[in-house]
Structure 1
Amino acid sequence: MAYVIGIDGGTESLRAHVFDLSGRSRGVGKGAYQTTFPEPGRAEQNPADWWHAAGVAVREAMAAAGVGPDQISAIAADTTSCTVVALDDAGQPLRPALLWMDVRAHHEAAEVAGCGDPALRLNGNGAGPVSPEWMLPKALWLARHQSDTFAAARKIGEYQDYLNLRLTGRWVASLNNVTMRWHYQTDHGGWPDSMLAKLGLTALRQKWPTEIVEPGKVIGPLTDRAAAHLGLLPGTPVVQGGADAFIGMIGLGVTQPGELAMITGSSHLHLGVASHAVHAKGVWGTYMDCVYPGRPIIEGGQTSTGSVIAWFKRNFADATPFETLNAQAEALPPGAEGLLALDHFQGNRTPYTDALSRGAITGLTLKHTPAHVYRALVESICFGTRLIVESFGSAFQAKRIVVAGGATRSPFWLQVHADTLGLPLQLTEEHEACALGSAILAATGAGHFPSIDAGCAAMVRVTSTIQPDMARHAAYAPIYARYLAAYGALQPLREAE
């Protein structure tokens, strides 16, 4: 029997899964690494730690699966996005990597956003913002604040590119990463050369990989040295992956126009397959060919979702189990008996792209309990998701939503999502959607499936569907209208602070 390995390079660790061709994980391994925070707003990792973790994780996964190296037909990886590396000509790091969450380049991000280049259509059709997490702000920061390192670097790329370099010896970029975070556009001129010129970054183009490989295509064979490190056979095909959440779309089987992957956790990420390209305020993307050939991907996100629930639980209901909170909140009617919340505790990413917006809870009376507040907070998060889906406009008419992450552990939260949206939600068998997405790409690149779509059909299984209660959906209509009004109503109060 043939197997494939899907690697998921996350923020705290790298996980390797051995999957069979039906999409079932047969063995898992994990290698942890550390993040350093040299100053507020800065976060760094040592790329050598990723490589060490890969050796640990793959060997553990192989042992757990009980399969031999000759049974592995291909390997592919996804990694954190916008984790930027600067390497010498031999591929050795010149400094620690700037982790995705590193926001030291906030001034540079504002400069990129203000340069007026057509490539900014990916950022709300020029309305912005550009995140300091993205490639260009970080590279511009390096050029300005560590100019010797920037000049000495022969290769500047991402975690994804570094890992593939160590696996194959080839310096290539993933079409996924460059289209959604490097301002590369397959339908609009390719590389952002005019933007680089405006920013004084023309030298960066010579440091970026010159070859781009799309997800699901073979990069090259595993080198002898890499094979020895991982415990695999030299020559094993290494297939291109990409950024973790986007590859998670594949692991959730979200492939067709109108389908949305909702990745939940401390924040929510909404990634949909659009019917056509669109560039508009409040919309990130669309990114053409980002995951699937010929299909634009649309992006939205909420900055604080699970983190809001964790804040409430920690500060106001620490002794109450989540099971009790969920049961008490579920017994309340929609709208929590007049209580309304705004979920902007850390600002709003889309559609307002307002970093200074703040959360609110209004309508409090002496009758309200922690369960009321909990329900209002959950509802506000779900309203935020509904607003994002509606803001996508004509390019994305939601037909199917597949959910992964922390919210899937709460049937109550899932039901409120379904009720506020008025749409069914689906859950899949494999919880590690990113690793499975990488495995599907590996299997496709190895020739087991003729396309990524076919790989998804064979390896992804929907296990349950949460149907909306349309009576509750109707009851939410006036409450949702109040939610929409809250953002504007709070502006004068914020400006008076």
Structure 2
Amino acid sequence: MGNKHYFIGIDIGAGSLTTTVIDLQGQVVGSASAELTTHSPHAGWSEQDPHDWWHALCGTARQALAQGSLAADQIGAVALSAGAHTPVLVDAAGQVIRPAILWSDTRSRLEAAELKENHGSEIFGIARNVPAPTWTQPQLLWLARHEPDALARTKRLYVAKDWLRAQLTDTWETDHTEAAGTLLYDVQRRQWSDRLCAMIGLDPALLPPLVAVTDVVGQVTTAAAAATGLAVGTPVVCGSSDTSIETYGAGAVALGTGAVKLATAATITMVNAEPGPTASVIHYPFCVPDHWYAIGATNSCASAHRWLRDTFFSGNGMTGAQAFQAMDRDAASVPAGAGGLLFHPYLQGERTPYWDPLLRGDFLGITFAHERRHFVRALYEGVAFSLYDVLQALEAQGKAMTEARIIGGGSHSATWRQIVADVLGISIAMPRITDASFGAALVAAVGAGAFPDLPTAAERTVAFVAHHEPDPRQHQRYLDMHAIYRDAARALFDINHRLSAISPR
């Protein structure tokens, strides 16, 4: 590889794009991020302009190289990751037809319900998942009904990271994890499903060829090099979806391990040998060959944290970061249980285990004794309680989790990390680097031949900076509180639906 001892990972997150450069020891030598704007022109819509991703990549690639004092010809390979099942529709001239619909978009609620009612068991049998507004299949059905001209003009369907990678290579392909994320993929045959396409009237010819996560799919073109500062001919590796890549990049490669992510949404992933038998959680092929992972999510985590900050803690001359720090000190000052205050983080509906976009958030049990600090503690604990719901759904697949890596912006709070360990009752380890772009850079290194395989690359480069063991007494106390949390959530289902009928989101 000559002097090409550095590798770039690029990740499209919900709020920003990050480019990270690592060396062969897994040390970050350069990193840069650029904010992304999510548009919501109608209630329940969440969209981004793919051109914003490209603009962000061009800027952050140059910044990351400059930060590491690296020449472009020192880069051995590039790989990408992004949120799964985010469709980008392209016409015959290669132009993007409309904004990309994100996983958090709920406009296809009726289409998802219709597909589930009419074909639910058949879809699960083929795709090992069931329709919900987060998937590409119901989103495309919505487009067929409400924007038929857009689909009629479509000649190629990409998902987010593949479209962005195509700006580097002028090629068209995706990996099997991303394919599974569209709900148009036959997991047993490992190919696109004509039957799932037929359910929504989609021509399978619009779907890309399938390759392995670590395959080199092309090289940086002359035009892309001029725009990004990368060298012409730099190998570009396929990459995969962010949950797969960040779970891998956190070092969770062994069966029964996984990752807890405290980000815009909160998720738990568990690495398994095969997809589970039930539809209560999502199943994907893992980036590590011959492995799968199950994932469950609570819709609102950092987004709820930010809402609390902006609504109740901003002002007094504090910046956003200072307000978060003050909130964290407040949460740490309150004993477990938040003085009997509960928080259901359903500010944007809920996914696992309820899959109900009409649920609403609440603080329950407020008294005159509660201060602002109790509300922060209750928010930390409420997200953890929702994650316990996710863990129970994952373990209902017949596999137990005893340890997890913790990642995402919320993982920087030692208080929140300990709450998660105590509520879940499992050991928690925080990797030195938690961004998905790090895992993507490792994938690039494996694709370029710097490591023999993905597990070896993780073993040699992933390090940990914090460990948290669950306190048995606190865990039992939280189990008692979670029983109340769960019963209250269920008791409010009908109330939430009636409120949504009166005042839609």
TM-score normalised by the chain length of structure 1: 0.89
**Contact 2:85 2:181 (8 Å CA) reproduced:** no
Shift of 1:117: 5.1
Q: Counterparts of 1:252-401 in structure 2 under 5 Å?
A: 252-285=250-283, 287=284, 289-318=285-314, 325-327=327-329, 329-392=331-394, 393-401=396-404
Amino acid at match of 2:216: V
1:134 aligns with 2:135: yes
Amino acid at match of 1:270: I
Q: RMSD of the TM alignment (CA)? A: 2.8
**Contact 1:112 1:136 (8 Å CA) reproduced:** no
Deviations 1:386-408 (A, max 9, x none): 22112212443112211112222
- Counterpart in the other structure of 2:420: 417
2:21 to 12, 18, 22: 18
Equivalent position SS for 2:9: strand
In structure 1, C-alpha distance between the alignment counterparts of 2:245 and 2:338, rounded to whole Å: 37
Shift of 1:410: 1.9
Deviations 1:198-239 (A, max 9, x none): 3222x2x11111x21121221123333333333333322110
In structure 1, C-alpha distance between the alignment counterparts of 2:408 and 2:325, rounded to whole Å: 18
- Counterpart in the other structure of 1:207: 206
1:426 aligns with 2:424: no
Shift of 1:6: 1.0
Shift of 1:319: 6.5
2:409 to 403, 406, 411: 406
Q: Counterparts of 1:63-82 in structure 2 under 5 Å?
A: 63-82=66-85
1:109 aligns with 2:112: yes
- Counterpart in the other structure of 2:177: 176
- Counterpart in the other structure of 1:488: 490
Distance 1:333 1:226, change over 3 A: closer
Equivalent position SS for 1:412: helix
Which moves more between the two structures, 292-301 or 36-45? 36-45
**Contact 1:89 1:153 (8 Å CA) reproduced:** yes
**Contact 1:180 1:290 (8 Å CA) reproduced:** no
Which moves more between the two structures, 79-88 or 416-425? 79-88
In structure 1, C-alpha distance between the alignment counterparts of 2:117 and 2:281, rounded to whole Å: 18
**Contact 1:259 1:398 (8 Å CA) reproduced:** yes
Shift of 1:28: 2.4
Amino acid at match of 2:113: A
Equivalent position SS for 2:185: coil
Shift of 1:241: 1.0
1:92 aligns with 2:88: no
Shift of 1:3: 0.6
Amino acid at match of 1:174: D
- Counterpart in the other structure of 1:467: 469
Distance 1:30 1:317, change over 3 A: closer
Distance 1:239 1:379, change over 3 A: same
Which moves more between the two structures, 407-416 or 446-455? 407-416
Equivalent position SS for 1:349: coil
Equivalent position SS for 1:176: helix
Amino acid at match of 2:25: S
In structure 2, C-alpha distance between the alignment counterparts of 1:144 and 1:493, rounded to whole Å: 31
Shift of 1:176: 1.9
Distance 1:101 1:493, change over 3 A: closer
In structure 1, C-alpha distance between the alignment counterparts of 2:380 and 2:105, rounded to whole Å: 29
Shift of 1:69: 2.4
- Counterpart in the other structure of 1:196: 197
Unaligned runs of 5+ in 1: none
Equivalent position SS for 1:116: helix
Amino acid at match of 2:360: R
**Contact 2:87 2:159 (8 Å CA) reproduced:** yes
- Counterpart in the other structure of 2:232: 234
- Counterpart in the other structure of 2:502: none
Distance 1:176 1:318, change over 3 A: same
**Contact 2:79 2:239 (8 Å CA) reproduced:** yes
In structure 2, C-alpha distance between the alignment counterparts of 1:74 and 1:340, rounded to whole Å: 48
Shift of 1:73: 0.9
Aligned residue pairs total 489
Amino acid at match of 1:354: D
Amino acid at match of 1:250: Y
Shift of 1:41: 3.7
Distance 1:455 1:463, change over 3 A: same
In structure 1, C-alpha distance between the alignment counterparts of 2:206 and 2:350, rounded to whole Å: 34
In structure 1, C-alpha distance between the alignment counterparts of 2:67 and 2:303, rounded to whole Å: 34
Shift of 1:350: 0.6
Amino acid at match of 2:205: Q
2:62 to 59, 63, 68: 59
Shift of 1:373: 3.5
**Contact 1:401 1:425 (8 Å CA) reproduced:** yes
Shift of 1:92: 2.5
Identity %: 32
Equivalent position SS for 1:150: helix
Deviations 1:443-494 (A, max 9, x none): 0000011111111112211111012222222333322222232223334655
**Contact 2:126 2:185 (8 Å CA) reproduced:** no
In structure 1, C-alpha distance between the alignment counterparts of 2:462 and 2:417, rounded to whole Å: 20
In structure 2, C-alpha distance between the alignment counterparts of 1:487 and 1:140, rounded to whole Å: 31
Unaligned runs of 5+ in 2: 317-322, 500-505
Amino acid at match of 1:438: A
